[in-house]
Amino acid sequence: MTILRICLLALLAICSHASAQEVPYPTRPVKVIVGYGPGGGTDIIARILAPAMAQEMGQPIIIENKPGASGIIGAYALAKAPPDGYTLMMGVVSLNALMPSLNSNLPYDTARDLVPVTLTASVPHFVAVNPSLPVKTLQELITYAKAHPNELSFPSAGNGTTPHIAGEIFMSLTGTHLLHVPYKSTGQSLPDLMSGMHKVSFDTYPTIANLVRTGRLRALAVTGAKRLPDFPDVPTAEEAGVKNFRISTWYGLFAPRGTRPSVIAYIHAKTAKALLSPSTAANLKEAGVDGTVTHSPEEFASLVQHDTERFARIIKAANIHLE
């Protein structure tokens, strides 16, 4: 009888363990944290993707903006969240690959606590100016900036974001001196940029492409490897004479440490399908997404690690520090 009881208890334990591993997912809404305010590139990509993800996953996708500290507040919220797949974060290269080299006092370990799930988009940046500035080419901007050191300013969504770092790299490569003005979010900075308070922008395609189309900003160059189909007359920065000025911003979903691999694989697969839906693909194309994809969570993790190491070298070489 004792042996039978032991066997039954063992069988029950095995079944319970199997059941725990096979908990259905998802059975309720999934929250996606955006560590920046509405109107910025990260927010735009998250909101473009959310409807198709909801359709693929069969549950609502709720976007929750948690702006502040260049995305750190949102990332910390993810790091503290239960690892059950119901809290994700739309990450971005500046937060997930740049910030570890710029801030040694993060309240979380980026590599350990924020688990890469899937790449969602990759976009170039523009070098653009307010039309009131009397320059029409990148070389004219460089000449003007050198003649007026520390007079031109450019905004960003915070210290350490890619528009900030793009501006720092530009200054390092061209020997110019511009003033960086960090905001809490890109959406807050755009009115001041359009009003002419700031004359220069190094922001991403999703953020300012429409402003260029409507003439509220003048694009001087793009920071990708090739010209953009929607802006064929805008040269690359390298074509315009600034060698090695090539930077892009990627966005991707991250989960808290401890999330089940099967859940991460599920989210990756459903996101891949969502990216292929006609409406999502069309909206992403309009946002300037270059079509880069990752075929597995491991491939995305490799990209994050590679860029973390690459930007660490760039930041050190350019002697970039947070104020």
> Is the separation of the CB atoms in 198 and 154 below 8 Å?
yes
Question: Tokens in use for 115?
Answer: 């688990």
> Is the separation of the CB atoms in 237 and 249 below 8 Å?
no
Residues 64-83 have pLDDT tens digits of 999 999 899 999 999 999 99
What is the Cα–Cα distance from 246 to 302, expressed in whole angstroms? 20
Give the residue from 300, 278, 293 showing the smallest Cα distance to 52.
278
**pLDDT of 117 above 80:** yes
pLDDT, mean of residues 101-128: 96
CATH number assigned to the domain covering 30-106+117-122+248-318: 3.40.190.150
Q: Do domains 30-106+117-122+248-318 and 126-222 have the same CATH topology?
A: yes
The whole-number pLDDT of residue 319 equals 81
Band of pLDDT at residue 26, cut at 50, 70 and 90: very high
The whole-number pLDDT of residue 317 equals 82
pLDDT, mean of residues 234-256: 95
What is the Cα–Cα distance from 28 to 7, expressed in whole angstroms? 36
Helix axes 261-276, 297-318, angle to 10 degrees: 80
Question: Tokens in use for 192?
Answer: 């001041």
> Is the separation of the CB atoms in 144 and 133 below 8 Å?
yes
Question: Tokens in use for 171?
Answer: 């200054």
Distances (CA, A) of 77 to 2, 80, 160: 49, 5, 19
Domain edges within the chain = 30-106+117-122+248-318, 126-222
Domain 126-222, CATH 3.40.190.10 — does that match?
yes
